[in-house]
Every structure is written in structure tokens, then in C-alpha cells.
Structure 1
Amino acid sequence: MALEGVTVEAIAKSAATTKNTVTGALTIGRSKAASVYAGYGNVSFDRLLLVAEFEGDEDAINAVTDCDDEDLAYVAQECRDENARLARQAEVVTALEADGVTVVTSWNYSTMAHLSRLTDAADDDTERPTLDPETHAACDGHAVFLTVNGLGEGDTETVPLCTKPELHQSIYRSYRTPTSEPVELTEEEADAQAEAKRAERRTLVANNRAWDTSQTLRKEWIVEFLTRKKLPTDAAAFVAVTLTRHSYDVTGDNSGGAAVFLGHEGYVAREALATMVEATPTKAGYVSLAVALSARENRTSRESWRNPNVSDEAYLLQIEKWGHKLSAVERIAAGYPAPDTVEEDAATGTE
């Protein structure tokens, strides 16, 4: 029918379905990958839509077709966030290379070294200062290791390194210091200590990314939650506790999240909510709950999992009670026992 020029509205009416369903079906039909998976006969409509969305991205397609149903939304958002991160990384690489900087995004332990591990001092020198980044810029092996861990201002980091460490000396001398002097770490001990720090950093990076993904899904869940025909019986209690114990968060919430949660944006969004209640008093409960949820949500951050606190814990446990499935990193912030350490590939982690 679509090939014959029949409109989406007419097709939906003829098939007794919604326009969104028809649009989704057409999207699936235009996707080679989704058409293949549709032929298997056991892939849900929602998964097929995601396969179409990630056309050409085999890693993302494998992720959304292999996960459990309850994890589908999270996995899909995780893939979107990763693609956005990679796009941002490509932009930064292009900008740095335009300035004549050699950029490395994947670490190779056999051919690279941090300037903090190198010196130009002789092997028998007592003083072994590390290489200065500005001075090292003249070295043939000078480069920067780029890490983009998200889209925020503080998520991009560049660290100077040398891709020709053989042109310099290790800061670790080839012999031990006398026992009467302070004991220095051997190179093996230093490497072990550095690896422990790298592992901690990889967990930090992975969980920060997981938090960003979870935040996106949490807000989407709130929007859907506020469309329910009936609010939970304890919604008023949550609002009351927020307006009293967390009044500072309410007054400091300038994000406009409450209006966005209820479908209003722009400078007059708050006024639109007030007008809504004046016109339809039965909407008061929804507006009050949206204000409370916005205040509590706006208070959360990556610090919520790094340094759990009772306020964010109570908030996350409350929305979990109302039906939101907490992700692994959200569960940490909610006070659940931490899962096994989450680490990303060492090649992409910040050194």
C-alpha cells in the first residue's frame, strides 16, 4: 500500500492499528538487516525497530538481539551513547590533528610510555626528573593519548606520551638503592601499582558511562510514568517528603524538568503547568509529583554511585518500587551490594 502511495494514516485505518505501528513497519521493511531478522520469525517488533535503527552497526545489532527483554531498552540506549561518544571522539581527533598533534586513542604497552615513566638522565644519575611535555614536543615520538568518556565538558582528556620510548631512559634505575636510603619501588612493583590504578580508573570510566545511559532511561521512564491514568497511592507522601526534607533541592531545581516530564518546554513552561492545574484541578497531583521527581532527579549525578547518599538512595528505591528497573550502577547508588567490578577494554581506558 505504501508503494502505491497510500498514506500512513490510511494504512493505519485500513489495518486497524496506529500510525506509529505502520511507520515502524515501513522502517523495518526499508532496513536490510531488520528484514533478515524478521525472516527468522522469532524477533519482536521492538527489536526489529532497533535493528533498523542500528543498520550497519554489527556490534549494536548483536547487542540488541542477544540481550534479555528486560534489558533491551538499556542496551539500546547504551549503544546510542557509545555511538555518540565515538562521534565526539572523532571530532576531537580531527581538531587536534589539524593543529599538527599526533593522536593515539588505543594504548599499546610495547610501543608507548607515559612521560612520567621516562627521563633523559643518565642511568647512574641520582636525580631523575621526568620528561617535560613542552620540551618533549620536539621528540619524534611525541603524541597525546586521547580519551573521550562522554559528551560533557570534563569527559575529554589528553595525556602526553612517547611512541619512541627507546629514545629516552626509564626513571627506574637498573639497580636498587642502598638499604640505608629510602627504598624505591622496582619497575615490576611500580607496574603492579600502576595496573591497580588503571583497573580502578577503568571501573570509574565504565560506571560513569553506565550512569549517563541510566539517566537517559530514567527520565524517559518518568515521562511514561506520569501518563498513567492513576498515580500510586504513596505518591502524595513522596511529594510531601520532598517538599519538606528536600525543600532545598526543590527551590534549587532550575532545570525545568517538571515541565519537560509533562510535555512542556520553553520559557513559559512553568506557567503552562500552573495554567493546566487551574483549568483542570485533577491534574494537580501529576504536576506536584513531576515537580518532586524533577527536584530529586536533578540532584543526582555520577557522584550518586561514587559516593552513595541517603537522599538519592531513597529516590531510586522509590521509583524502583513504582516499576523502574534499576541498572547495575543505579543499584550501587541505591545501596545494593556492588556487583563484580565493571571494566571496559584496557585499550580504551584512560591511563
Structure 2
Amino acid sequence: MTENTQTTTTDTADAVGVDLVTIPASEAVIEDNVRTAADLDAAFLASVKRHGVLLLTIGYRNADGAVVVRDGQMRVLAAREAGTTVPVFVTERGDTPAQRIAEQLVANERRTALTDGDRLNAYRQLELAGLSVAGIARETGTDKEQVQATLTVAKSEAATAAVVDRQVSFDAALLLAEFEGDEDATAELNEYISEGYDDELPFVAQQHRNRRIAAAEVAKVQEQYREQGVAVVDDISGGWKRLTGLSDEPVPEDDPQVFLPALDEDAHAAACGGHAVLVRASGDSAHVTAVCTTPDQHTARAFCDRPAPELTPEQEAERAAEAEAAAARRERENRLADEWTAASEVRRTWLTGLVGSKTLPKDAARWTASVLIAGTRDYYCQGVRVTDLLGVPEDADAAEWASKRPGKAQHVAFAFALAEVETNVGRYGWGMADTVAVPYLNQLSAWGYTLSHVEQIVTGAASANDEAPATIEAAE
């Protein structure tokens, strides 16, 4: 349809009393409508500004000869905003309220929006036709980030199938696309999706991202030790013990249950041919532990780890049970520590959005004042930077950035208080149920944040012995 400001009429050979006219949107009269809310979507308005009104509106002429639009008020309003014309299919229509309402109900109720699958295919076709992300965004009036995300899903067969066949949410499909090819990650994500735990998906995804980062870091650190001539052991290889559990001191005859001093790592590396390191993933980083592959050349530090001359079957069973319980505790603590690392990163991303919102929570000022007056301590030396929460560029001067935004003063104070508490919660916040973690997480929940499984453990809503929700459901 060619845009113009003149009224045009196209005669139709097979219709009586029907005209196709193009008129300035400002001249169109909008009839009373059953649709009470006429909020113009930003993408729709952008599309009309670029392409004009592509679909005909339907109307009639009133007694004064003006064109009255019955079906298409949103298109007319958008065209007015864009300062353009609107095509109208002018017909002979009754003007009784009953007929108007019936026709408007039928016209609106029978419209079917594009499915997510339709949209994925259309965006992919636009890309294959040569349009860039920016071009697609411009042509469709869509945010570039949304276009990029849609294309990411469209390029993944698994993610597209999940949208089309299982009607999963777009956010869930985007995560499936991100981890395509990673069988462990996609299996766990699909398990959470199938059990309806979509709120946990960001945390599960972040754990797998951290594992990728940690795995790369572990490989790098292992290679560095090998280049230095230091042996590297696998966690499951066995035949080694940590230096912290060994000693070169003899066991005193008068005190056989004494706890001996540990081996010195440097001295052990220089004197023992069994010196090695164990490099394991921890959260999103690598953790190095010095070990000995010839532990029999040393003495166990703890009495319980030394060979016993004789043990009854009951004592052997008791010792085995204690060892099994200790291993289970370590596994649980490692699992929760990894969950907490992922939850912290997701939470801080959410906080960045909260701080960047135009309007802060109603009680933000009160909460900020209480935090700043009480003061906090950085127990773990892992301070969260206020500038990160505020989105201050890396190369910008923070003071200058703030001085140019006097209206953001409350946001700056709020971000400072959040950073203080985030810092205080620390790396092992999941085990700090008697500190600031509980009221802090409860406050975030009141502001709209969805607590992850491990954060629910901190607040007491779940037990530390609980498995993750999807795991529990699958086991039942």
C-alpha cells in the first residue's frame, strides 16, 4: 500500500456498496469498541512507522460522509502516532449497537496470534534471506537482543522442537539452545522443565556454566603442574592421601592417640617421590590439594586413620559407617557450595535489574538506612562491587558517573547497601542461616526474587538433606 495523504477510491467489479480507500489516520473516526484497553505495543508502533498499516481496516461512512472504522482501532491509533495513512474497506454496515458489538466480538475473538514456532521459522527465513540481526530488528520493530535470542533458538533443532512440540517457554528453549551438545546439561534442564520447575532453570544453567568454566580452569592448572614436573592424580584413581592427613613424626608410645603435625608441602615436594597434586573443580574455579601417592612411607596424623592391631566386626562396621557418613557430608557440602555459587551469580544479575529499575521498592530507603547504620563485614574477602550493580562502565570514573546523575542518588545508596550485604553473605552463605543471609533473602523474595533450592535451605524453607526439586520428583 503506497502511503499518501489524499483520499483514494478503488472500484470493485463484484461488490456493491464497497470502496477501498486510503485516508490520513487523523481523519478516520474510531467507533465505540468492545476492546476497552488500547495500549500500543512498542514493537507494533515501530512496525507501523516503518511499514505503514499493512492490513485493511473495516468501516463505513456516517451521515456526514466521514469514514468510521469499526474493526482496526489499534491500527488507526498507531497510524496517527506515526503520522501516516490507513487503508479502510468501506462497506454498507448497519449502525445499531447490537450489530456493532457482535461484529467486533467476532473479529477479535477469531484472531489467532502467531505461534512461537511460526515466529522462530520466520526470523530464521529472514536471516537466510540476508537480513542481519539489526536488519531484522529494524524491519520487525523488535529489540536486537530479542532478535538474537530468537535466532539462537531457531538455529537449535532441540530448542525449536521443544517450543513447537512441547510448548516450552522461550526462556527455557534459549537455555536448551545454549547447552546443545552437552548431554548432561540438556538432560537436567529437560528434567526440570518436564517436572514444572521452570523457576529453578536459571540456577541449574548457571551451575553448568560454572562447571564449564571450572573444567577449563582445571585443565589449565593441571597442565601447568605437569610442565613443572609435578605429578597430577585423578580424584577417583585412589592410592594417594592428602598431605594434611599425613605426618613424618613418630607416634609417642605413651600417647598413641595423639594428633601428629602435618607434612610440610615444600619439604614433602623436595624429599618424597610420591609428591603430587589433585586439581578439582570447585564452584567456577579450580582447587589444588597437595597429596602423596606413597602414603605408606608416612604416618597417619589422626589415630582413627592408623591401622588398628585388631578390630571386632562391630568396630569395623562402625568405622565403615563413620567413613561413609563423612563422605556423604562432604558430597552434600560440595553440592550445596556449587549450588550457592550459581545462585549468587543469578541473584546478582537480578539485583542489577532491580537497581536499574526506574522505581525502587517502596521500602528500599528504610532497608538501605538499616543496612548502612548497622554496617557489615567482608568475611570472605570477596567484595561485590557497587559499580557492577549500577552498571558503571569499567573505564568510567565512578564518582564522576554518579555526579552526573543526581536523580540516581537513592539508587546509588541502595546499590551500596546491597553490595555490602552480598559481600557479607560470602562464598558459603548456604551455611550461614543464623546471620544476615536469612532476613536478606527473605527481603529479596518480598521484592519479587524467586529463591533457588539452596537459598530455600538457608531460609529454612527446605532441608540441607533435600535433593534438588526435579531430583526429588524423579525419585518418587
TM-score interval, smaller chain: 0.7 to 0.9
Match in the other structure for 1:21: 146
Residue deviations 1:103-122, cap 9 Å, x none? Answer: 333325xx535375899x9x
Query: Residues 294-351 of structure 1, C-alpha deviation per residue, up to 9 Å, x if partnerless?
Result: 22212220343323344332222111110112223323433545342569xxxxxxxx
CA separation of 1:49 and 1:157: change in aligned 2, threshold 3 A: same
Give how far 1:238 is off.
0.5
Q: TM-score, normalised by structure 1?
A: 0.75
Letter in 1 for 2:241: H
Measure, in 2, the Cα distance between the counterparts of 1:337 and 1:105: 34
**Structure 1 residue 138 corresponds to structure 2 residue 273:** yes
Deviation at 1:222, TM superposition (A): 0.7
Matched with 1:349 is: none
Report the equivalent of 1:42. 167
Distance of 1:310 and 1:163 partners within structure 2? 43
Report the alpha carbon displacement of residue 213 of structure 1 after superposing the two structures with TM.
0.8
Q: Pick closer, same or farther for the CA change 1:244–1:34 going to 2, 3 Å.
A: same
How many residue pairs end up in the alignment?
317
Equivalent pair of 1:258/1:291 in contact (CA under 8 Å): yes
Report the CA distance between 1:174 and its aligned residue.
4.7
For 1:31, the equivalent position in structure 2 comes to 156
Q: Does 1:12 align with 2:141?
A: no
C-alpha displacement of 1:11:
1.6
Q: How does 1:160-239 map to 2 (within 5 A)?
A: 160-162=291-293, 171-175=306-310, 188-239=317-368
Counterpart in the other structure of 2:218:
89
Q: Confirm whether residue 114 of structure 1 aligns to residue 249 of structure 2.
A: no
Quick check: 1:102–1:144 contact (8 Å CA) kept in 2?
Answer: yes
Give the whole-Å Cα distance in 1 for the aligned partners of 2:399 and 2:447.
25
Give the Cα separation in 1 of the matches to 2:411 and 2:417: 10
Identity %: 29
Question: Contact conserved, 2:368 with 2:414, CA < 8 A, in 1?
Answer: yes
> When the two structures are superposed, what TM-score results if normalisation uses the length of structure 2?
0.57
Given that 1:172 and 1:186 are in contact with CA atoms closer than 8 Å, whether structure 2 keeps it comes out as: no
Deviations 1:176-206 (A, max 9, x none): 59xxxxxxx9555443333332222222222
Q: More deviation in 72-81 or 2-11?
A: 2-11
Q: 1:260: which partner in 2?
A: 388
Give, in angstroms, the shift of residue 215 of structure 1: 0.9
Q: Could you list the runs of 5+ residues in structure 1 that have no partner in the other structure? A: 178-184, 344-351
Of structures 1 and 2, the larger Rg is shown by 2
Cα distance change, pair 219–34 in 1 and its aligned pair in 2 (3 A)? same
Aligned-residue CA RMSD (Å) = 3.9
- Corresponding residue for 1:182? none
Contact 1:259 1:270 in 2 (8 A): no
Shift in alpha-carbon separation, 1:256–1:146, aligned structure 2, 3 A: closer
Are the aligned partners of 1:130 and 1:171 in contact in 2 as well (CA < 8 Å)? Answer: no
Contact 2:203 2:339 in 1 (8 A): no
Distance change >3 Å, CA 174–CA 144, structure 1 → 2: farther
CA distance in 2, matches of 1:223, 1:234: 18
Task: Measure the CA separation in 2 of the matches of 1:288 and 1:193.
Answer: 50
Greater share of residues in strand = 2
**Alpha-carbon spacing, 1:159–1:231, altered in 2? closer, same or farther (3 Å):** same
Give SS of 1:226's match: helix
Residue ranges of structure 2 left out of the alignment (5+ in a row): 1-125, 469-476
